Structure 1
Amino acid sequence: MSLNDRIPNLAQPADNCYCGGMVDEAALVAARDAGVRHVVNLRPDAETPDFNEAEAVAAIGLIYHHLPIAGPDDLNDANVRRFDEVMGEVGDESALVHCASGNRVGALFALRAGWLKGQAPDAALALGRSHGLTKMEPAVAKLLGV
């Protein structure tokens, strides 16, 4: 199965960036086989109590980053800055950034673009949508001052 078949709501907004929903061991292997080097997990551990993603990622030789974002209340300056640091660590290497649906992924990319990269709110929201932003868009728009 392809990476698209393994990860819900998968988007590839850039050559080196895949964004999407929940993963399992088979999805991680498919990501590695597609050239991914880093996995950025935005899901709190409580969302996946029966799956040790850090262990699964390490077992197949990828680099794991964990930034738990439970919902809109976690969309704050500290977490957006930490996300920016993580993406800085990823650099130009290929990454899979995921949560349960891709929505939190898009939210963080939008806020990073608006707050840290100086993009106008409409452009930041468009970037967020391309990375998976859906239901959290009203909260993100408010945070961006729209």
Structure 2
Amino acid sequence: MTALIKINDKLSVAGQIELEDFATLAGLGFKAVINNRPEGEEPTQPASAEEAEAAAKNGLTYAHIPVTGPSIREQDVRDLQAVLAKTEGPVLAHCRSGTRSLTLFAIGEVLDGRMKREDLPAFGASHGLDMRGADAWLARNGH
């Protein structure tokens, strides 16, 4: 399985996971999986329907919130926050590398005043991920 990057007690992010990883995630105590990849981004990635089926087979909630860096909307950020809020337990969000998933989370943290925009580089670096996309999104959207 790809490396899981723990952000806090509620959220971890990762690169692409495989269908067989859903059982492992359930065994580790995860309660939900969020897929932030658009369909067919890479020919080898599982389809969202396949991930949803693997999640259901393993007792996990599943959400598909597909984004690319330039396509992120505030609604995508809020959709991720809604999954985190309604899930009783840890959530794994994944994309190709984990960066987009963490970007969605970080944008929400800044929008809601729990993080300052100037803290994004250090926040990303502390998890080994680049938050320039989050900073650019906030700049484009007047934050």
TM-score normalised by the chain length of structure 1:
0.79
* Residue in structure 1 matched with residue 83 of structure 2 by the alignment: 86
Contact kept, 8 Å, 1:16 with 1:94, in 2: the verdict is: yes
SS in 1 for 2:82: helix
- The correspondence for 1:107, drawn from 103, 107, 114, is 103
* Residue in structure 1 matched with residue 57 of structure 2 by the alignment: 59
User: How many residues of Structure 1 are paired with residues of Structure 2 in the alignment?
Assistant: 136
* Residue in structure 2 matched with residue 3 of structure 1 by the alignment: none
The structural deviation recorded for 1:26 is 2.2
Contact kept, 8 Å, 1:105 with 1:133, in 2: the verdict is: no
Cα 1:97/1:45, change in 2 over 3 Å: same
Structure 1 residue runs of 5 or longer lacking an equivalent are 1-5
Cα 1:110/1:130, change in 2 over 3 Å: farther
TM-score normalised by the chain length of structure 2:
0.80
* Residue in structure 1 matched with residue 33 of structure 2 by the alignment: 39
Deviation per residue, 1:14-71 (Å, 9 max, x gap): 23432111111222111111111111111122233557100111111111111111x1
Measure the CA separation in 2 of the matches of 1:84 and 1:72. Answer: 18
The structural deviation recorded for 1:128 is 4.4
The root-mean-square deviation of aligned C-alpha atoms, in Å, is 2.3
Q: Which amino acid aligns with 1:29?
A: A
Contact kept, 8 Å, 1:40 with 1:98, in 2: the verdict is: yes
Deviating beyond 6 angstroms after TM superposition, the runs of 4 or more aligned structure 1 residues are none
* Residue in structure 2 matched with residue 143 of structure 1 by the alignment: 137
Contact kept, 8 Å, 1:17 with 1:94, in 2: the verdict is: yes
Structure 2 residue runs of 5 or longer lacking an equivalent are none
Cα 1:67/1:50, change in 2 over 3 Å: closer
Cα 1:39/1:49, change in 2 over 3 Å: closer
SS in 1 for 2:6: strand
Contact kept, 8 Å, 2:31 with 2:60, in 1: the verdict is: yes
Measure the CA separation in 1 of the matches of 2:84 and 2:125. Answer: 18
Cα 1:17/1:49, change in 2 over 3 Å: closer
2:69 counterpart of 1:75 = no
